[in-house]
Amino acid sequence: MNIKPFKALYPNLKLVPSPDSFFAVMRKEFPHYLKNGFFKRTKSPNILLYKITSNAKACYGLICSTDVNDIHDGKVLKHENTIASKEQQMLDLALQRSAMIKPVLLGHPHHQDLQDLYHEIEKGKVFLSIELKDEKSLHEIWKIKDEAIQQAIIDMFSTSIQQCYIADGHHRVSTGILLNKSKKNTIEYGDLLSIYMSFNDLQIYDYSRVVTILNEISPVSLISQLSKYFKIKPLKKLIKPREKHEITMLIGKEVFRLKWKKKYIQSKKAVILDAELLNEYVFKNIMDIKDVRFDSRIKYIGGTKNSKEMKAEILKNDYAIGFMLYPVHPEELMTLADAGETLPPKSTWFEPRIKNAIIAQEFK
């Protein structure tokens, strides 16, 4: 990987009485706050160490610029397809901001020498410290000022980390490629703002699907057709799937466990994905949803609280059905990406996640 120092934008915390409230509005309000002096600029390019501490667990990441050519050369591997409308939305936001306000999260295999260097760096003076009380998390950033240490890290990425995997930010990567492809731009968009984290520090959670479809098919007809593909069992309460190839379905206040029949999960493929099976047999065959990338009837809910959010979504929408899937394993993700294959959109939710505008990079 070809990583580089960059000049960072960062918040002037003296002007921020409530970090929780401030970062919560950055997705929409960043240009306004930037214009009114709420951000500072580093004087020189740096590589930054980022540490997130939450629930007594510390996770480390390296914030830097990644050469856009690494994407074209196949060193930055994607594992998910993107949604067309989200790509357009991200492109519009990038042009409004003239900046990337959130680094792309890139996962890589554990590298002990790199982790040892991170622990040495954190003994120095903290550059930025932000406590988010609502999330009970502490975000700390160090500038890597020692040129020898900085070069050692650059060399490690160049020689030992030959490729990485997009954990969060597929649409931001697509936006970066589109911006750099445009020949009419008067702005140089530069490289990709990135944060690299070891898969040892990352946790993958599931994404739920909420489909507005009961105005087109009755619950009785749906369950009858699902019985072709699944063993179906009613549940007394909403419980996440216990294992791979199980799906929890919510219709109104009724909960069902769906377990794929064996013939549908027998394949020569290295990885058999529940999301892919769901798209093919349920969304396409039963619901006539041809392409999940473009269909507005599907809403995706990801993260640690997605069961609560999905339940609320179902209860306020009489025509909605919810599907909860078992999380994808990192080894499955890497196997697919290495083979040049992808997961359906919104298949993985990675933690920890970085807030918009804690660190940003302006277009040149």
Is the pLDDT higher at 168 or at 59? 59
List, in sequence order, the alpha helices (H) in the chain: 19-24, 26-35, 69-72, 84-97, 112-121, 147-159, 170-181, 219-226, 274-277, 306-316, 330-338
Q: Is the pLDDT of residue 95 over 70?
A: no
With a pLDDT cut of 70, the percent of the chain lying above it is 90
Distance CA 170, CA 87 (A): 9
Say what the pLDDT of residue 225 is.
Answer: 97
The pLDDT tens digits for 21-56 are 999 999 889 999 999 999 999 999 999 999 999 887
Mean pLDDT check: name the lowest of 49-53, 179-183, 272-276. Answer: 179-183
CATH 3.40.50 for domain 207-326, yes or no, is no
Q: Is the pLDDT of residue 16 over 60?
A: yes
So where are the chain's domains? 3-204+351-362, 207-326
Say what the pLDDT of residue 183 is.
Answer: 47
Mean pLDDT throughout 216-235? 96
Angle formed by the axes of helices 84-97 and 26-35, to 10°?
10
How does residue 167 score in pLDDT terms, banded at 50, 70 and 90? confident
Mean pLDDT throughout 111-136? 94
Q: Chain-wide mean pLDDT for the chain?
A: 88
Distance CA 45, CA 150 (A): 11
Sole residue written with tokens 């856009």: 68
Say what the pLDDT of residue 281 is.
Answer: 96
Asked if 90 contacts 171 with a C-beta cutoff of 8 angstroms, the reply is yes
How does residue 83 score in pLDDT terms, banded at 50, 70 and 90? low
Nearby residues of 61 by Cβ (< 8 Å), 6 or more positions away = 49, 50, 51, 52, 105, 195, 196, 197, 201, 354
Q: Is the pLDDT of residue 104 over 70?
A: yes
Distance CA 325, CA 345 (A): 13
Say what the pLDDT of residue 342 is.
Answer: 75
Asked if 107 contacts 203 with a C-beta cutoff of 8 angstroms, the reply is no
Asked if 340 contacts 267 with a C-beta cutoff of 8 angstroms, the reply is no
DSSP for 258-272 reads: EEE-GGGS--SSS--
Return the amino acid letter for 331.
E
Q: Which of 206, 116, 115, 111 lies closest to 161 in space, CA to CA?
A: 111
Nearby residues of 275 by Cβ (< 8 Å), 6 or more positions away = 207, 325, 343, 344, 347
Asked if 99 contacts 189 with a C-beta cutoff of 8 angstroms, the reply is no
Nearby residues of 20 by Cβ (< 8 Å), 6 or more positions away = 132, 133, 134, 135
Mean pLDDT throughout 153-171? 87
Say what the pLDDT of residue 341 is.
Answer: 79
